[in-house]
């Protein structure tokens, strides 16, 4: 077995063993889904940051930088903005309301199961994509390095992520994410610096990169510009990658996991810094890769970020692949945990009345089933652009994120407005994506009928045809309009006073009382 293969197999084995060791601390459902409320600032920050890195923040960014330019480094800015936004305006309310899933906020406010269920559906659309991507990438790496069949590699990835999630719980993911984040940032930075030195330094990297762009007849100025991907794309990235974040239920889990409420804002701030560093390092690797192989090299998946290192030696290749595995696992485990917690709390009848032992058992059963189904899809699916697929999932979570903001900060928000705002944003964005996918090809330009009309609309709108715009604008318009036209009646006063009394109010120092 090669050194590279030994490194990645050892990393997976150590990670799985850590999950078994940490299982001793999960004696109740609250130990499993919120870490027993014991996390300090560092563990909190590492756990949260890991959820934002994953495959999209590593080889996803590297791949898009290779093909389109450094404008995709905005992903790092968006990651920081997303986590700091949640830390300032949402984490403390989630903790005060004792939420395990974001949809529970609508149950607490309105007693509305339909809003809770619909929110969970939107979030699960994103989380299912994440849960599919993670074993897919592990399978690709293990298969590519060891030569075993891809399906068996996916099975290994699924077993590792599922077993660690079942046994480690939220506290386990936070502890190991300290290691993962360190391996990702420092490991890939080391790879990049060594490769850059081998290429003769940064000036020669720039010279070779520009030569590759000229050879491919690419616009050098646009490729090297932070706005070269277009303002419409940058705004769409912000909507998808940032605005959706308050509705991502994993942050409700982490908000309740902190040992003290005062840890939340600094914890989320530090997490944002860590999460922002990773796309910058990945983009650096992407520049080096493009300078070596060209912008149309055909590299895909983890090879976007690992091919350079693998060609530079087995040890360096092992470090790079370990970093990619760390990125995948750091997001895969907590997202799978949150997926299971949402499913049990939002979709299983009577879960409110489950005992702690029964709920813990339900969490673990759902984790195994959910993770297994995602692994089968990963094995059979045809995945192309990981970052674009994930951004679609992000966009589907924007409607409930807008809705939760209205509920927390505008008392006149009504249940009907929340439901129809989320429903319109979700179905509108999904429909836009479906039609864009069906009618984007050039042959539809002369197809006639609806196909030609939609193709012409896509061409006219350009990047503004991104589904994320609808997922934001529809609920942003519908929720206040419906709330004003059909206000809450007197019968809602008691529920409103109870909810907002429990929630408290934000103070000037961003604390809540």
Estimate the share of the chain in helix, then strand, then coil, as percent rounded to the nearest 5: 85, 0, 15
10 Å CB burial of residue 462 (0-12, 13-18, 19+) is exposed
The predicted structure's pLDDT at residue 44? 92
Give me the pLDDT at residue 190, please: 87
CATH level 3 topology of 3-384: Sodium/glucose cotransporter (1.20.1730)
- Which DSSP helix (H) or strand (E) runs through 278? helix 264-293
pLDDT along the chain (513 residues), means of 10: 74 72 68 78 89 76 86 91 93 92 93 92 89 84 80 88 85 80 84 89 92 87 89 84 88 90 94 92 89 72 67 76 76 88 88 86 93 90 64 86 96 96 95 90 86 90 88 96 93 89 85 80
Question: DSSP 3-state assignment of 54?
Answer: coil
What residues contact 311, with CB distance under 8 A and at least 6 apart? 317
Per-residue 3-state assignment (H helix, E strand, C coil) for 127-188: HHHHHHHHHHHHHHHHHHHHCCCHHHHHHHHHHHHHHHHHHHHHHHHHHHHHHHHHHHHHHH
Identify the pLDDT of residue 405. Answer: 96
b/e 112-124 (16+ beta carbons within 10 angstroms → b):
beebbebbbbbbb
> What's the pLDDT score for residue 300?
61
Per the document, the length of the chain is 513
Task: Give CA–CA dist 361/355, Å, rounded.
Answer: 10
Supply 30's token pair.
């609250």
pLDDT of residue 382: 67
pLDDT of residue 398: 93
Q: Element (H or E) spanning 393, and its range?
A: helix 386-396
Q: Where are the domains of the chain?
A: 3-384
Task: Give residue 58's pLDDT.
Answer: 77
Phi, psi of 258 (to 5 degrees): -70, 145
């Amino acid at each position: 077995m090669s050194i590279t293969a030994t490194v990645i197999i050892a990393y997976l084995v150590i990670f799985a063993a850590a999950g078994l060791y940490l299982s001793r601390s999960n004696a109740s459902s609250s130990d499993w889904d919120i870490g027993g409320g014991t996390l300090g600032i560092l563990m909190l920050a590492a756990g949260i940051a890991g959820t934002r890195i994953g495959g999209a923040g590593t080889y996803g960014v590297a791949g898009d930088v290779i093909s389109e330019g450094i404008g995709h480094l905005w992903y790092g800015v968006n990651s920081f903005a997303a986590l700091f936004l949640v830390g300032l305006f949402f984490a403390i309310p989630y903790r005060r309301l004792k939420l395990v899933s974001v949809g529970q906020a609508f149950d607490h406010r309105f007693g509305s199961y339909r809003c809770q269920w619909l929110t969970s559906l939107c979030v699960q659309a994103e989380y299912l994509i994440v849960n599919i991507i993670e074993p897919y990438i592990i399978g690709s790496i293990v298969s590519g390095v060891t030569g075993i069949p891809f399906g068996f590699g996916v099975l290994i990835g699924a077993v590792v992520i599922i077993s660690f999630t079942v046994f480690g719980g939220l506290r386990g993911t936070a502890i190991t994410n300290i290691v993962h984040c360190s391996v990702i940032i420092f490991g890939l930075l080391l790879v990049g610096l060594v490769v850059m030195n081998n290429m003769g330094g940064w000036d020669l990297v720039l010279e070779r990169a520009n030569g590759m762009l000229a050879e491919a007849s690419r616009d050098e100025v646009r490729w090297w510009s932070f706005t070269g991907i277009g303002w419409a794309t940058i705004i769409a990235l912000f909507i998808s990658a940032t605005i959706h974040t308050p509705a991502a239920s994993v942050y409700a889990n982490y908000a309740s996991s902190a040992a003290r409420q005062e840890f939340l804002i600094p914890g989320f701030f530090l997490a944002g810094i860590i999460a922002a560093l990773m796309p910058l390092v990945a983009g650096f690797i992407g520049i080096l890769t493009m300078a070596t192989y060209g912008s149309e090299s055909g590299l895909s998946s983890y090879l976007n970020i690992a091919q350079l290192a693998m060609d530079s030696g087995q040890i360096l290749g092992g470090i790079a692949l370990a970093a990619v595995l760390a990125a995948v696992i750091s997001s895969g485990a907590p997202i799978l945990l949150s997926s299971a917690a949402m499913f049990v709390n939002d979709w299983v009848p009577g879960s409110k009345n489950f005992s702690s032992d029964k709920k813990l058992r339900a969490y673990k059963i759902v984790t195994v089933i959910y993770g297994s189904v995602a692994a089968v899809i990963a094995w059979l699916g045809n995945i192309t652009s990981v970052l674009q697929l994930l951004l679609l999932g992000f966009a589907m979570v924007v409607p409930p994120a807008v809705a939760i903001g209205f509920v927390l900060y505008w008392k006149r928000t009504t249940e009907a407005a929340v439901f129809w705002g989320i429903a319109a944003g979700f179905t509108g964005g999904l429909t836009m994506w479906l039609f864009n996918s069906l009618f984007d090809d050039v042959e539809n330009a002369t197809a006639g009928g609806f196909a030609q009309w939609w193709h012409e609309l896509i061409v006219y709108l350009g990047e503004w045809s991104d589904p994320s715009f609808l997922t934001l604008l529809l609920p942003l318009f519908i929720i206040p309009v419906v709330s004003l036209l059909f206000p809450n009646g007197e019968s809602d006063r008691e529920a409103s006073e109870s909810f907002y009394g429990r929630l408290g109010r934000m103070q000037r120092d961003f604390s809540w009382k």
